[in-house]
């Protein structure tokens, strides 16, 4: 067996430690005589799995006690509707900052449920930067402010958080969850589809301040009400049991093998620096993002020649570096280097890029 270096934006690489542990426990979890997949979500064995996942998340992310952790389904995309349905309930308006396709989709969905004000956008330069955070003027009457903290497609990350006063800050952290420490108390809601950095697809994690869990807009379907899920410990219906178990293993890996999110951040910074350093000095490749807005997780780059980009994607794939093709709206290439991508994977990619550059410059 030879495993490839997988640079997919999501679903993406999982830590080998996690896959091996899951594989050891596949046929029989503990002494239960069954796989986690086969367990009743109401069993005491499964109750221990979901609560352990939650307590590890709380410990790793230092989540304050007045926040609930919800394990939901429907992806980050369902949160685009759940957030306005549950939070646009006082003044029926919200502020959005557009920094890419995902924030655009989030804003479009919110428009169905109230008045949306676009505070800033980086659409003018294909979302290759984060607009000046200090220049943003937020509406003090807004029910919340929505941002996408790391933009998966364009490879940007907010260099700092906006000051929103008493207005709750809601952030999509799908492509950077658990990649570095975050001060949860600065946010009203954090949400993420798990399939980038937290585990397999099928699980959506929502971290929400308790005072924001109230009566939703009239007509909100039961399954789209935070209150229902919070009151039932994410067990109102069958949760994505196996994905939650896997997320728990990822958290265990982060705690025991990596040593927490400070250490994870150092490793992620080391990986990103290797790639950005090379891009900044290459005669053939160049990064597409302004230096002050660069993501640690998603690194888009181009040669400037579409044919050469295609050749690079094909040759890199044959050499065991897969899913490097960029998003259709940016073109070129994108290397997603989430937590599970080892430093060696990034070094090997850069060595391959150097060789390609010599052969094609
Ligand atoms: C992948 C992604 C999404 C979409 O997630 P789904 O779980 O597929 O709905 C939304 N926002 C960001 C930032 C993403 O990276």
What is the tens place of the pLDDT at every residue in 139-196? 999 999 999 999 999 999 999 999 999 999 999 999 999 999 999 999 999 999 999 9
Just give the CATH number of 16-257: 3.40.640.10
- The reply to whether the predicted model has a pTM over 0.95 is yes
Of 52, 268, 293, 97, give the one whose Cα is nearest residue 178.
268
User: Can you tell me the distance from the alpha carbon of 209 to that of 190, in angstroms, rounded to the nearest whole number?
Assistant: 9
Percent with pLDDT over 70 in the chain: 100
Residues with beta carbon inside 6 Å of ligand 1? 10, 75-77, 102, 148, 152, 172, 174-175, 193, 196
Known catalytic residue: 253?
no
Could you tell me the fold of the domain covering 260-360? 3.90.1150
For the annotated binding site for L-glutamate, the residues are 42
Can you give the pLDDT at residue 254?
98
Catalytic residue among 68, 95, 157, 172: 172
Which atom of ligand 1 is least distant from the CA of 10?
1
**Residues 167-177: tens digit of each pLDDT:** 999 999 999 99
For the annotated binding site for pyridoxal 5'-phosphate, the residues are 76-77, 102, 152, 172, 195, 237-238
In the structure, what pLDDT confidence band is assigned to residue 268 with cuts at 50, 70 and 90? very high
Q: How far is the CA of 192 from the centre of ligand 1 (A)?
A: 7
Averaged pLDDT, 95-110:
98
Can you give the pLDDT at residue 2?
86
For ligand 1, pick from 8, 10, 71, 76 the residue to mutate: most ligand atoms within 8 Å of CB. 76
- Residue ranges of the chain assigned to CATH 3.90.1150.10: 260-360
Helix (H) or strand (E) holding 347: helix 343-360
Among protein residues, the one with the nearest Cα to ligand 1's atom 10 is: 76
| Residue 1 predicted with pLDDT over 90 | no
Peptide bond into 11 cis (omega under 30): yes
Averaged pLDDT, 59-86:
98
Known catalytic residue: 17?
no
- Residue ranges of the chain assigned to CATH 3.40.640.10: 16-257
Using CA atoms, how far residue 129 sits from 117, 158, 294, 349, in Å, is: 20, 9, 8, 25
Q: What is the residue-averaged pLDDT of the chain?
A: 97
In the structure, what pLDDT confidence band is assigned to residue 359 with cuts at 50, 70 and 90? very high
* Token pair of 283 as six digits: 């005669």
Q: Who's near 86: CB < 8 A, 6+ residues apart?
A: 212, 213, 214, 216, 217, 220, 224, 225, 226, 227
Known catalytic residue: 172?
yes
Which residues does residue 6 pair with via DSSP β-bridges, in sequence order?
A: 322
Residue 248: CA count within 13 A, CB half-sphere: 20
**Residues 302-323: tens digit of each pLDDT:** 999 999 999 999 999 999 999 9
């Amino acid at each position: 067996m030879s495993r490839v270096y997988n640079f997919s934006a999501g679903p993406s690489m999982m830590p080998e430690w996690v896959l091996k542990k899951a594989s050891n426990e596949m046929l029989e979890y503990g002494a239960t005589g069954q796989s986690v997949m086969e367990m009743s979500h109401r069993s005491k064995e499964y109750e221990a799995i979901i609560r352990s996942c939650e307590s590890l998340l709380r410990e790793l992310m230092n989540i304050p006690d007045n926040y609930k952790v919800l394990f939901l389904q429907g992806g980050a995309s369902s949160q685009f509707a759940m957030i306005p349905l549950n939070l646009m309930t006082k003044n029926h308006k919200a502020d959005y900052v557009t920094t890419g396709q995902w924030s655009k989709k989030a804003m479009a969905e919110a428009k169905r449920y109230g008045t949306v004000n676009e505070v800033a956008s980086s659409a003018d330069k294909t979302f290759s930067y984060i607009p000046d955070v200090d220049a943003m003027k937020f509406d003090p009457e807004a029910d919340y402010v929505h941002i996408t903290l790391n933009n998966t497609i364009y490879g940007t990350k907010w260099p700092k958080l906006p000051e929103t006063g008493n207005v709750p800050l809601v952030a999509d952290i799908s492509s950077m969850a658990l990649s570095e420490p975050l001060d949860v108390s600065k946010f009203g809601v954090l949400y993420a589809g798990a399939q980038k950095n937290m585990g397999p697809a099928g699980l959506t994690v929502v971290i929400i301040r308790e005072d924001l869990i109230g009566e939703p807009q009239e007509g909100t379907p039961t399954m789209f009400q935070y209150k229902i899920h919070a009151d039932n410990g994410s067990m109102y219906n069958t949760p994505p049991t196996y994905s939650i178990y896997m997320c728990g293993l990822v958290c265990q890996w982060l705690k025991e093998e990596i040593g927490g999110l400070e250490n994870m951040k150092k490793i992620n910074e080391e990986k990103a620096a290797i790639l950005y350093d090379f891009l900044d000095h290459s005669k053939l490749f160049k990064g597409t993002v302004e230096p002050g807005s660069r993501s640690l997780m998603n690194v888009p780059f181009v040669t400037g020649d579409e044919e050469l980009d295609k050749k690079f994607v094909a040759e890199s794939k044959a050499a065991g570096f897969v899913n490097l093709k960029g998003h259709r709206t940016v073109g070129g290439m994108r290397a997603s280097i989430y937590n599970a991508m080892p430093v060696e994977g990034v070094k090997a990619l850069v060595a391959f890029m150097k060789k390609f550059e010599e052969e094609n410059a």
